[in-house]
Amino acid sequence: MLKKEQNDYLCQTGPGTPMGNFFRCYWQPALLSEELPEPDCPPVRVKLLGERLLAFRDSEGKLGLIDEFCAHRGVSLWFGRNEDCGLRCPYHGWKYDVTGQCTEVPSEPTESGYAKKIKLKSYPLIEQGGVLWTYMGPPEQQPPLPQYEFSTVPLNQTFMTKRIQECNWLQAMEGGIDSSHVSFLHRGDLHNDPLFKGAGGNKYNMQDLSPVFEVVESDGGLLIGARRNAEDDQYYWRITPWVMPNYTGVPPRGDHPMHGHFWVPIDDENCWAWSYDYHPTRALTDGEVAAMKDGKGVHVKYVPGTYRPLANKDNDYLMDRAGQKAGRTFSGVEGIGIQDASLQESMGPICDRTKENLVGTDNGIIMARHRLLRAARAFNDKGVQPPGVNPEHHTVRQAALLLKRDVQYKDGAKEALKAKKGVRQTSV
């Protein structure tokens, strides 16, 4: 349960809000590289943290993320011509470079310097790991580039998708750290999904349906461990890292690629669910990539030409009551990503947490909210740099492993929880 004012504090990320200021401390995924594939390609509308922006790649390949609207009469520059190192408004020909600087106002003499006095707000946009990242905070506080392992391995070892989710970012993100829902909502997928099945650790999931949880604070956020009984006085641990404010990793299965998410606010009622898969030491196989493109694992199938899931609220998520009754799926909805999205969207655009009744096993969620509130207040009131800004905090890995029963997993899995170049993930 959260009080209304706490819920509002965490859910509102627009400009000038405390949580909006907080999010603007971090690099965030803005677009897939494939959305701006080449110089002078069509510009793309982007809405992030409640701001309408436009991304484009100029004639020299430079990336820009600028205010969507022309400073002259407020036309959307999405209609603009991307040409000769700038974006030209089709209405009266005003032209802007990737920094948002106006370079031409055709109706005014060049010598007048009028264009120099026009500049649209812009944010840095950098390319890393097949993702275009942006930082929307004060330039003087721009942190070093993100160091998440999925975005720093060679491109043939990583695969990223995004899908729109029509609800507030927090209820989506909380699904990523709510380990106890997996045994219900996603049951069945362990056996069937090509990106999960066959892992040695799966048997522990099936043998012990009552995992026990331990939540430990980390430098960047949290580690949430779920343990199940295993042989020889051992526990089978699945450890989920959460890095503030909105990154979650899913513990691995066997040698399958590791996956996880970013949950990025578009506005207060919509977010982007980014889903990655990567392998630290090998290229993804053709079969794995084909499965990911086919919407398996944490990925989804799309409405053609969009990033909207094919199963969405407009078609009741292709609800299959017969499949639900027969046990093919637990909820009647196919696919892990849509199973999550369907339920999270059903909470409404912004979940009313004053009506919740949480239980002890929800402590991962309770702690995450507590840490977000504490860090956001410390940042807004005292300027304290929040956890997760330091790139060292990004180099955490999810892990699945067997440990002696009396070992604290933060210690026993210490090395497994660190991303190390050229070192395989720790997985069972």
Partner 1 sequence: MQSESAKMTTAHEAGFRVQYPNSKQRAAKVIALDPASAAIVEEISQKSWNGAAFFTSLAFTGEGNPGAVGGDLKAWLKDLAGRTMDLVAEVEHSDFVVVITTTGADARAVSVIADACALFNKSLVGLIVPGKDDSDAATTESMKYLRPYTRMLVIASGTDYIEAMLTALRA
* Residues making contact with partner 1 (CB under 8 A): 1-2, 166-167, 212-217, 269, 313-317, 342, 345-346, 348-350, 352, 355, 357-363, 366-367, 369-370, 374, 405-406, 408, 410-411
Residue number, 94 or 235, with CB nearest to partner 1: 235
Min dist CB 420 to partner 1, Å, is 21
Residue number, 125 or 239, with CB nearest to partner 1: 239
Min dist CB 357 to partner 1, Å, is 5
Name the strand (E) or helix (H) holding 368: helix 363-382
Residue number, 114 or 213, with CB nearest to partner 1: 213
Residue indicated by tokens 């484009």: 56
Min dist CB 356 to partner 1, Å, is 8
Min dist CB 331 to partner 1, Å, is 13
Residue number, 148 or 409, with CB nearest to partner 1: 409
Q: Which residue from 415, 418, 374, 373 is spatially nearest to 395, judged by alpha carbons?
A: 418
d(CA 127, CA 30): 10
Structure tokens at 405: 């029963």
Residue number, 207 or 408, with CB nearest to partner 1: 408
3-state secondary structure of 98: coil
Min dist CB 221 to partner 1, Å, is 12
Residues in the chain: 428
Q: Which residues pair with 222 in a beta bridge?
A: 217, 242
Helices (H) and strands (E) in the chain, counts: 12, 19
Residue number, 40 or 269, with CB nearest to partner 1: 269
The answer to whether 399 and 41 are in contact (CB under 8 A) is: no
Min dist CB 330 to partner 1, Å, is 18
d(CA 90, CA 40): 15
Strand-by-strand arrangement of the 63-67 sheet: 44-48, 51-57, 63-67, 122-123
Buried b (16+ CB within 10 A) or exposed e, 60-82: eeebbbbbbbbbeeebbbeebbb
Residue number, 279 or 393, with CB nearest to partner 1: 393
Name the strand (E) or helix (H) holding 409: helix 409-412
Min dist CB 361 to partner 1, Å, is 5
Structure tokens at 212: 């026990």
